[in-house]
Structure 1
Amino acid sequence: MGGPVRSSAWYSGDDRNAYIHRAWMRRGVPGDAFTGRPQIAIANTASDLTPCNAHLNEVADSVRHGVWEAGGVPLNLPVVSLGETNVRPTAMLWRNLAAMATEELLRANPIDGVVLLGGCDKTIPALLMAAASVDLPALVVPGGPMLTGTFRGTPLGCGTDVWRLSEEVRAGTLSREAFLESESSMIRSRGHCNTMGTASTMGLLAEALGTTLPGLAGIPAADSRLLAKAHESGRTIVEMVAAGRRPSQVLTPASFHNAIVTLAAIGGSTNAVVHLLAIAGRLGIPLTLADFDRIGAGVPLLVDLQPAGRFLMEDLHRAGGLHAVLAQVLDLLAPEAITVTGRPLVEGVDGTPIWDGEVIRTRSDPLRQDAGIAVLRGNLAPDGAIVKPAAASPELLTHRGRAVVFDSVEDLHARIDDEDLDVDADSVLVLRGCGPRGYPGMPEVANLPLPAKLLRAGVRDMVRVCDGRMSGTAYGTVVLHVAPEAAAGGPLARVRSGDWISLDVPGRRLDVEVPAEELAAREPAPAMTEGLASPRRGWEQLYVRTVRGADTGADLDFLVGSSGHAVARESH
């Protein structure tokens, strides 16, 4: 194995401490389990309360087989699991906690390498943040998307069609009975969302970053090929321990370059921006919002998936998968970036064919010529804001309208359908107090529902501005992650209904047409201030006190940077 493994600090020797460690861990394992064999943790986010990850115990079994086969010792390690659909107020509130807890467990235990099992939105980012911080050999096995369900003969995109159908109910074009009937058809199988939401995006980006086996990301959860790749991942992590191949060697500036190119080409979730920034921060890589705009500029949208297109993840897999997409933008990828195999990412991509040209477009026939995340600045977003042009209405990417301001999520729900609300199709809906500190946790509320009276009139999109996030399955002309957030004193706190707001995505601007002196002199709205988070104890208080802005990844200030995997002092 090229020298003693890290776990030897626990298991080697004939003193009392080594005796205790070995004796308590025997429990039926082979007698040579502690004689230098790599101890491999399987960081498992399986949970019945995270339905998208509920199948990961079966995936873990396949990983275990591969680890044993390669000469390692597999160890199931349940870690914090965050279910996007159930956790209140928002799973993002605990992403950093999940990362911190996993990091500390890996560092504290006799572990030489780790396989990271995730699927639902926050689980893969949290696991990668932890692995980057502790810097032990690590690879990701994404749980995969669910199979496509249908309702009345029409494929359903989970998440995206929830938003669409619920708006049709509010518009009066779909009965509530039909809406509820579709519920049983939405989730057809195990796995995470089948749209290009955050879960699918982060699974694919995990591969673009080089942290999965080539060809793994995007395999549907119900596909037996996922289990075969999980088995192979178990063998590979043992090889990585022997080679000393760690996250800091795989996750390089070149890897993040490739992830940003991939994000644009697949039309991925805007949530990937805060996650990639946070992962890079754990490695000390100076990734910034400007890099997303610079690297993503000119990258074509090639994947015709909801919410930006028509198809779903099962279609992407049969059409050739991620490698078929990357083959089309091969010249835009950084060739020096490697994967967990130690080989360059581009080596396994070149020449991959497209099997369905409707789902995956060629470089010469893209869905959109320029699909990168657009980073906006201006007097309303001095530290930046983002918009996803691929999911927006082209005619609204340059727009000027009067602000209709909501001071909290509760204020939004109370007034959005008020028939007397002073709003028209040209208005700009503004929701504030929803950033990392304000809510807290930066909830997915930026894609505000449209006023019912405008829906009935046929309006289906409006410009919306928010310091929160939106679901990766959502769509519309939504400016989000506005920084500094209102709770941190950002200009958004001083906007008033009736102010004129101008959006210029081609020019990368977001401005409120109020003189600087007047804007600075305004006091934040009392209703907004009263609605901000003010926790008195526990994780929430620690989070609000130490969380950084969305423009840097919304990590906690004391978690930025890698801490390494040094073995702690013995306590026995």
Structure 2
Amino acid sequence: MESRSQRILKRPEWSINRAYYKSMGYTDSDLDKPIIGIANAWSTTVPGHYNLRKVSDAVKEGIRAAGGTPVEFGVIGACDGIAEGHEGMRYILPTRDIIANSIELVVQAHQYDGIVMIGSCDKIVPGMLMAAARLDLPSILVNGGPMLGGPEIHGRKSDTTSIIEGVGKLSNGEITEEKLIEMEDQCAPTCGSCSFLGTANTMCCIAEAIGMSLTQSAMIPAVYKERLLSAQKSGEAIVDLVKKGINARQVINKKSIENAVRLCSAIGGSTNAALHIPAIAYEARVDFDMESFDTLSRSTPLIAKMNPAATFNVIDFHESGGVPVVMNEIRSMLNEDVMTSTGKTMGENLEGYLSPNNEIVKTLENPHSAMGGLAVLAGNLAPNTAVTKPAAIKEDMLKFTGPAIVFDSEQEANEAIMRHEVKAGQVVVIRYEGPKGGPGMPEMFKAMKLLYGMGLADKVALVTDGRFSGTNNGTFVGHISPEAQEGGPIAVVENGDIIEIDIPERKLNIEISDEEMKSRLEKWTAPKARVSEGYLYIYGKLAESADKGAIIKTRD
């Protein structure tokens, strides 16, 4: 069967296309081989992407060694960390769709035979996986690896979140500004995705669990030689996938998505996975809703525990065996027969991996917790569900009831917290920060970190129609759907209303009568949209709700 690339490179009809390639130094021999697109999110603005040129070079070596021709193009990528806590965070989630769209456009315009996607961070990895599922070509994802941890602070290796916690401690007079600067200098000693189990590393682990990355590749540190060796093997693997005709939807399907949810729950991954997995499922033409997500999460125990749920970081997790060790431990719950980017089934990939049963990775018989790492709640405050992360919540905080203190924006809440207006026992409500209301569904990262730094993390709860960073801990509930901008019940919560959070029972309620709720909603009117131009305006108009993955529909 004639390949995609050869259909537009045959002489004499397509000699002009060969001429274009030859102008860049490609030879006839190069053009007679499978043409492999490399979508590279390298930049010097994202720490997790700083080393991706070297990673890409290693991928190219592998492609050439296996008999293919690499063709590289750039993909945007923004840093969640740099965007946190200010207007820039509204732009982060919308980049996911731009990334998926841009990869689709280039790959289809140039008719590549296969695609290697290189990225490491929060919205880049899911955007790439969405593109792969949409294109349904031979595909593989390669990440650049996490950074190493910094000097130990309060019993754990420091990382970039240590800074914002330090700001809260500085506000309380617990540390000096000199100490904060010292933390700033030392907490991120190398490039790479951040060393905790935030969204970036969660999604890299999910990429491996879903079968789109090589086995045990997800958490190889950015500065280890094994990172480049894995990249080279990935280059060889993509050519093999092209030759065998193994396309992305043979890898990304209902069974592999179920595996990914179980892995995410077993490691206590970021709540953002509850946005990205449904979005990937949508592009793969798989019916998958939040009820399915919770069913899988509820029945999967917490096997591995790391920062922000424990003192260990993802480097420690990698050295304990990483993703395949955990997947092997929950193997009885997995769909082993699914194809992967290695050209083998998931079951074949997991052969030989045994659980170390240490402080990081436990066994199925002796897990960290019988409750999975993520939970989906519902109730009269979240009729279409909300998401939380039991793995990052102390056991005595899994149930919380208290009076609401309501804010109509993240900034308003952060300023009130810094003024010490939030008191123990309250439930902080931050609304109009959903996909449409934000617009862009920003993370409430800073609010939780400020509360932690002020000693309130285990004394208050926070609920929002926005989302959270994978590094947050404490009693928090996000992704409340419908969001306030769409007239969801969170829009009519008033100061002093009693809110009940019951994570074991999966409930999120406001203690008012149905009649009172109906009366308030009938009086409610939508506020004017915050943004009236630019891409955020488009996103706010088109984005679906959080329970649907905050997607922009790409088909009828």
TM category (shorter chain) comes to: over 0.9
Alignment of 1:367-446 (within 5 A): 367-418=368-419, 421=421, 423-445=422-444
Counterpart of 1:43 in structure 2 is 39
How far did residue 506 of structure 1 move? 1.6
**How many angstroms does 1:371 deviate by?**
1.8
Preserved contact between residue 329 and residue 363 of structure 1 (Cα < 8 Å): yes
Root mean square deviation of aligned Cα? 2.2
Give deviations 1:361-398, integer Å, cap 9, x for gaps. 22232221212411111110010001111101222222
Q: Which runs of 5+ in 2 are unaligned?
A: none
Residues 1:525 and 1:367: Cα distance change in structure 2 (over 3 Å): farther
Aligned length: 550
8 Å CA contact 2:448, 2:473 repeated in 1: no
- The answer as to whether partners of 1:281 and 1:560 remain within 8 angstroms in 2 is no
Q: Tell me the distance in 2 between the aligned counterparts of 1:200 and 1:60.
A: 19
1:25 is matched with 21
Distance 1:150 1:301 in 2: 27
Counterpart CA distance in 2 for 1:517 and 1:109 is 59
| Residues 534 and 458 of structure 1: CA distance in aligned 2, closer, same or farther (over 3 Å) | closer
On the 8 A contact 1:63/1:233 being kept in 2, the answer is yes
Q: For 1:323-362, what aligned pairs fall within 5 Å after superposition? A: 323-355=324-356, 357-362=358-363
Tell me the secondary structure at the aligned position of residue 259 of structure 2. helix
The whole-number CA distance in structure 1 between the counterparts of 2:245 and 2:295 is 33
CA distance in 1, matches of 2:485, 2:555: 22
- Counterpart Cα distance in 2 of 1:451 and 1:149: 21
**Range 316-325 or range 361-370, more displaced:** 361-370
TM-score of the aligned structures, taking structure 1 as reference length = 0.91
Inter-partner Cα distance in structure 1 for 2:269 and 2:248: 23
Cα distance in 1 for residues equivalent to 2:453 and 2:371: 30
The alpha carbon displacement at 1:320 in A equals 1.4
Partner of 2:254: 253
How far, CA to CA, are the matches of 2:68 and 2:241 in structure 1?
A: 11
Q: What secondary structure, in the 3-state scheme, does the structure 2 residue paired with 1:482 have?
A: coil
Report if aligned partners of 1:447, 1:475 keep a CA contact under 8 Å in 2. no
2:125 and 2:449 mapped to 1: Cα distance?
A: 32
Shift of 1:28: 2.5
Deviation at 1:417, TM superposition (A): 3.6
When residues 560 and 511 of structure 1 are mapped into structure 2, their CA distance, relative to the original with a 3 A threshold, is farther
Could you say what secondary structure the match of 1:483 adopts? coil
1:92-117 per-residue CA deviation (whole Å, 9 max, x = no partner) reads: 12211121111111111131101010
Aligned residue in 2 for 1:468: 466
Pair 1:53-2:52 in alignment: no
Amino acid across the alignment from 1:437: K
CA distance in 1, matches of 2:44, 2:457: 39
Contact between 2:410 and 2:447, CA under 8 Å: does it hold in 1? no
**How far 1:172 moved relative to its partner?**
2.7
TM-score (norm 2): 0.94
Give the counterpart letter for 2:63 in structure 1.
V
| 1:550 aligns to 2:549 (yes or no) | no
CA distance in 1, matches of 2:103, 2:204: 19
- For residue 128 of structure 2, what is the aligned residue in structure 1? 127
2:431·2:491 contact (CA, 8 Å) conserved in 1?
A: yes
Task: Report the Cα offset of residue 458 of structure 1.
Answer: 6.4
**Match for 1:11 among 2, 9, 12?**
9
Residue 77 of structure 1 aligns with an amino acid whose one-letter code is F
Secondary structure in 1 matching 2:337: coil
| Equivalent pair of 1:446/1:478 in contact (CA under 8 Å) | no
Identical-residue share of aligned pairs (%): 34
Does residue 1:80 correspond to 2:73, yes or no? Answer: no
* Distance in 2 between residues matched to 1:475 and 1:7, nearest whole Å: 48
Q: What are the residue-to-residue correspondences of 1:297-336 with 2, within 5 Å?
A: 297-336=298-337
Shift in Å at residue 478 of structure 1?
Answer: 0.3
Task: Give a deviation string over 1:295-340, Cα, whole Å, max 9, x none.
Answer: 1113222223100111011111111121111121111111222211
CA contact (8 A) 2:430 2:463 kept: yes
Q: Distance in 1 between matches of 2:56 and 2:506?
A: 45
Change (3 A) 1:56 1:527: farther
Q: 1:307 to 1:448 in 2, by over 3 A?
A: same
Residues 446 and 467 of structure 1 are in contact (CA less than 8 Å); yes or no, is this contact kept in structure 2? Answer: no
Deviation at 1:526, TM superposition (A): 8.7
Q: Which moved more, 1:211-220 or 1:454-463?
A: 454-463
User: Is 1:117 aligned with 2:118?
Assistant: yes
Counterpart check, 1:486 vs 2:487: no
The letter of the residue matching 1:89 is: M
Q: Distance in 1 between matches of 2:203 and 2:545?
A: 21
- In structure 1, the residue corresponding to 2:479 is in which secondary structure? strand
CA distance in 1, matches of 2:519, 2:4: 58
3-state DSSP of counterpart to 1:249? helix
The 1:296–1:245 alpha-carbon spacing in structure 2 relative to 1, beyond 3 Å, is same
